[in-house]
Amino acid sequence: RMIMDDRIRTKLEYIYGQKSGLATSRRLNKTIEKWRKTLPEIPGFPDGGVPADEGDAVMISYGDNIQSPEMVPLAALKDFADQHLNGVISGIHILPFSPYSSDDGFSVMDYREVNPDWGSWTDISAIGSRFRLMADLVLNHCSAKGTWFKQFLAGVPKYQNFFITVEPGTDLTAVFRPRALPLLHEFEVNGEKKQVWTTFSDDQVDLNFANPDVFLEFIDILLDYVGKGVRIIRLDAIGFLWKEIGTSCMHHPKTHEMVKLFRLVLAETAPGVILITETNVPHKENISYFGNGTDEAHMVYQFTLPPLTMDAYIRGDASKLTSWAQTLPEPNPDFTFFNFLASHDGVGVLPARGYLSDEEIEALITAVKGRGGLISYKATPAGEIPYELNISYRDAIAEKTLSDSLRAAKFLSSQAVMLSMAGMPGIYIHSLLGSGNWKEGVGLTGANRTINREKLSLAQLNTELDDPSSLRSMIFNGYSLLLKARSSHRAFHPAAAQKILDIGPSIFGLIRTSSDGRGVLCLQSVSSENQRIELPSEFSGYQSIHDIYEDVDIPVKEGCVEMTPWQVLWLENDN
């Protein structure tokens, strides 16, 4: 047991200095022992590695996304999931469900409580008993209206070092800014005016991880979540965690050490829990959170995938998507990508830079505006630059001029790109349900991101899903078929080999091969035209070949298959 304690102690001494680090490691040991007594056995894989397989796919949802007059929103979410998601989705990411004061949940007032308007821990655990539960640890900042900050303002000694205050006149020009807002806000602390560090807004006050009490508090909250049934932990906005004036305060070496500590603590207490980092930054910086492959995050978000997939379907040209995908690391059992296309936020523009030209990014912005979307900007020394595309992914991909059946086909083709790639898919509830832009919502809140955050009535949703002619039903049923096909074949295991093919601009194609040598050729058309596609040599010699998505045999003529506009073919080669 001491080997692990040693690694933890070494890291804590690096972060806090020898004396404080040693004292913190003793306190941390007590916390670990406390939770070891109460946590259930949560085993990882016998050989380590990411505890996930081809059957894993996560739906991302707010706790109050689905509403019903008969029950609290978390119970309505469970009702919907029990009716529609069994055998389709294995996990549910419930976005922050604690009491909050702003930012749709990401300004947490009390980490150990569930928002009473949405339900209780019983409702959360009930979802976790049927689905693999994913939750956020919003650890960079907390609410200015929450219990901790209120005690800080009142001068309570324990909380004086929970937040970061800066002397007036300090040079903070090096600090990376994600928002077009001031970095500091003035608060009155016990009668004295102080400048407090606020990365995201004046209601979201950054927490001071240079104080070991803050670190230990979050370890306790983390293990409390695990005790309540959480099995995947998302470290929100983790790149900003450690502040050192004079640096950009992004991806600080001590931030990486913190992630390693969270990983070590989970290895000690709950090795089957997956750790995922959320850093919406350029690809190279993002994948740095894999550490050496076994010591930081199990998974990182694949932030470059959403804008490049959107670009491929808007232009009908997948060549940029293909050339980027060819640079991805080989699939590995120890770490993988959390692949997603849409989320509660918009589609980030920054991760596309370097892969799309400035002209292509401009064209993407113009197309998004033309399809009813909005653009959010951020401050830089050179002025404001586009930061995020705010639009429902369905409306971005599938233009309203198409028939409903073609809109469904085109949108599902874009989703098949993500589902075919190595990693674990994260599917935003509004993509799974084929929702469009919620313009009224933006009018209500004044926030661009609300366009993709509509609340749905459970009864109306069930009615639409029961009507096979509705666009919602076409998309949901097609999505369910894709997910069932994916979970039926070992070639879609996160660690199964992946070979990205270059078969021209109008197809995104790849071969996934399982550890026992069974292959699936995934062809996703980004084109509005019919096409003939020559099969690669690994799939030659067939008169017909089986498509596992629609469960049909596809005729092969002279080594080629025919594809209709935006068709998806997942062809298996098991003989």
Quick check: 165 and 175 in contact, CB under 8 A?
Answer: no
Using DSSP's 3-state secondary structure scheme, residue 219 falls into helix
Q: Which residues pair with 570 in a beta bridge?
A: 522
Q: How far is CA 411 from the centre of its chain?
A: 19
Q: How far is CA 200 from CA 150, 176, 184, 206, 375, in A?
A: 19, 11, 10, 9, 18
Sheet containing 165-166, strands listed edge to edge, beginning at the edge strand earlier in sequence: 165-166, 192-197, 184-189
CB 346 within 8 A of CB 376: yes
CB < 8 Å & 24+ apart, contacts of 144-149 = 144/101, 144/107, 144/187, 144/198, 144/202, 144/203, 144/204, 144/205, 145/101, 145/107, 145/109, 145/203, 146/101, 146/107, 146/108, 146/109, 146/110, 147/109, 147/110, 149/205
Which residue bears the tokens 């296309």?
341
175-210 as b/e: b if 16+ CB within 10 A: bebbeeeebbbebebeeeebbbbbbbbebbbbbbbb
Strand pairing partners for 94? 61
The tally of CA atoms less than 13 A away on the side-chain side of residue 511 is: 16
Burial of 130 (0-12, 13-18, 19+ CB in 10 A): middle
Annotated catalytic residue 103: no
For residue 154, count CB atoms less than 10 angstroms from its CB and return exposed for 0-12, middle for 13-18, buried for 19 or more: exposed
The C-alpha atoms of residue 572 and residue 554 are separated, in whole angstroms, by 11
Distance CA 255, CA 243 (A): 9
In this structure, which amino acid lies at residue 14? Y
Catalytic entry in 123, 136, 206, 236: 236
Buried b (16+ CB within 10 A) or exposed e, 52-65: bbbbbbbbbbbbbb
Would you call 228 helix, strand, or coil by DSSP?
A: coil
Encoded amino acid at 445, one letter: T
Is the Cβ–Cβ distance between 301 and 280 less than 8 Å? Answer: yes
Active site residues: 236
